[in-house]
Chain A
Amino acid sequence: MAEVTLENVTKRFGDFTAVKELTMEIEDGKFTVLVGPSGCGKTTTLRMVAGLEEITEGDIKIGERVVNRVPPKDRDIAMVFQNYALYPHMDVFNNMAFGLKLRKTPKAQIRERVHEAADLLGITDKLKSKPRELSGGQRQRVAVGRAIVRNPKVFLFDEPLSNLDAKLRVQMRTELEQLHHKLQTTTIYVTHDQVEAMTLGDRIAVMKDGVVQQYAPPQETYDHPNNQFVAGFIGSPAMNLLPAQAASENGRTVLSSAGFRIALPEARSKQTLPSSVVLGVRPEDLDGPAPDAEGTITLTVSVTEQLGHSLLVYGNLDETQIVASLDPHRRVEIDSTIHLTVNLDTLHVFDPESQETLL
């Protein structure tokens, strides 16, 4: 086991910068998730750690060792690919044993380790099957098994669950969680699914256009997003982002637009804001108790979605669509007008120019 350190890592393909000056420290035994939209450089980052992609600039360290020039096989890492990449002509046992055989591990030990891993993953009865005879979930387990038999210092996962159906994905997610709890191996996990990121990660790195926007524990990215992008990416349904005017009245900051007027409590009014800002409110923060003149948004309902554990209400405010997540037992009619109470302690304010978080 070892920590992984990336220092100012940059990757260019020709003129195109896929990853830009990425600096990140992954503690020993921790589970780090790289998350971001398609094409933001997650896979490229992972492949650089694996040694499958050369580093244009910067350093990658595994433990104390700089591995920039170390070939993949000598980095003591194991990787699970998005599409499994099992050897089609080998049975499950040999798929898992291949790496050990190449490392000249004694036969008895290979058998022991493969069976141990197969036990852990519940695929012992499939050891003699070829990959084509397995279901998607079983192939996924073989791919994971192939990684754990080697007992590497670092696990790398590239969207390992994205080819599974929704139910299996949740199941495998918890299995991976348990596995990490048991093995305590440093893990870097790539996904574009923010639920996976939130549930699995000790820390998550939110990436956009090759740049890490925020690297923090999941709850912190949710509670205190660094900027508008992180705010919009983490959380589902996504945070409502509403253009607003900011002004100061009687020592309180007032955010207003055609559809609302929100006065912040004094404690949150210390900072001078630019006159035009973006207000960020999560759907679940629109369900305050009694209507309060200091912080309501009035909305005409266009669509409702009953999810059982919550009721999603959609409506338009000027040009912007707003979604609110309400108590599922509340009755809301389409085309009716409702008053949403904003949670003043958790609302966010962003700079429309730099997109940075102001409040």
Chain B
Amino acid sequence: MNRRKLIAKTPLHVTILVFAAIWIIPTLGLLITSFRDPTNIAGTGWWTVFPKLFSGGQYSLENYIGVLSGQSLGQSFLNSLIISVPATAISTFIASFAAFGFAWMRFNGRKVLFMLVVGLMVIPLQMTFIPVLPIYKKLQLAGTFPGIWLAHTAYGLPLTTYLVHNFMAGIPKDLFDSASIDGASPFMTFWRIVIPISVPALASVFIFQFLWIWNDLLVALIYLSARPNVAPLTLSIANLVTNRGQDWELLTAAAFVSMALPLVVFFSLQRYFVRGILAGSVKG
């Protein structure tokens, strides 16, 4: 890269660095604090560990053990998993079928139905609580895992269907013609061709949906009625803030427990974000 280019790009780099710093510095503070003694936390700031960053003795896992067992965040972590994974899987699964139908199958009322589904995105979630909750009570779904899976799936589907649809609609038509001459039924075309091609889109939708559900407090609060045995991390941490608001060591550790899984999910699915998976199929 020549000098002029370097200079031209400097403002961009500076901006990126500033934004990264704004996010990373507090996160780092949180991380360091979560490993320190309560007395140290009260006495000195987290940045004071830097001069002797790697010397032992100043860190411990006490806080984590404390939140996971003492505050039963371990159970909440499990609950969060039990809620997020199936809810995400179900909505991605249904969305991929629906998106294929809307994008590539011919049936009456296709456009109207699709507009209806997309239109549902503008309805605020909160509006639905009042009519839906009584039904949940009647069906005894309130406070159960299937109940919250259903709720998250329903709330997530409009957006996920829309996103997956947009991707699938971009698949070249000739591939479908080719498949139909090869003798593939619509289901085979979907399963053997459309799904494999759509992996990057499905992966990103999966991540979005997963993060949204993992971080959700409102839907859990309403549909799980704050019952501790089914409460996800978000609910438990919210309770922790109310009950133990002074105990920073617990709050920071709890925050990191809740962040750990999204990070793992993100990094492990990141390789699916390869661009140009359609390369070579049809001429550019």
Contact = CB atoms under 8 A, between A and B. Distances in A.
A47 B176 CA distance: 13
Interface in A19-53: 47, 50-52
Interface in B144-189: 172, 174-175, 177-184, 188
Interface stretch (A62-70, A81-89, A188-196, A258-266): A81-89
Contact of B281 (A73, A78, A79, A88): A88
B182 A86 contact: no
Interface residues of A, number: 32
Contacts of A77: 181
Given A81-B174, A102-B188, A87 B181 contact: no
Contacts of A73: 180-184
Nearest to B177: A52
A334 interface: no
A98 interface: yes
A134 interface: yes
A79 B178 contact: yes
Interface magnitude class on chain B: 20 to 34
Given A52-B177, A83-B172, A88 B280 contact: yes
Interface string B264-280: 00000000000011111
A146 B178 CA distance: 10
Nearest to B281: A88
A52 B180 CA distance: 8
Contacts, number: 84
B197 interface: yes
Given A87-B281, A132-B280, A72 B180 contact: yes
A331 interface: no
Given A52-B177, A79-B177, A79-B178, A85 B281 contact: yes
A201 interface: no
Contact of B181 (A78, A88, A130, A131): A78
Nearest to B175: A85
Contact of A88 (B188, B192, B279, B283): B279
A54 to B, nearest CB: 11
A103 B181 CA distance: 11
Contacts of B180: 52, 71-73
Nearest to B174: A85
A203 interface: no
A72 B177 CA distance: 9
B183 A136 contact: no
A78 B197 CA distance: 23
B282 interface: yes
B196 to A, nearest CB: 4
A99 interface: yes
A165 interface: no
A136 to B, nearest CB: 7
Of all A-B residue pairs in the complex, the 3 with the closest CB atoms, nearest first, are: A132-B280, A131-B280, A85-B174
Given A99-B182, A99-B183, 5 more contacts: A72-B180, A79-B177, A87-B175, A88-B277, A98-B179
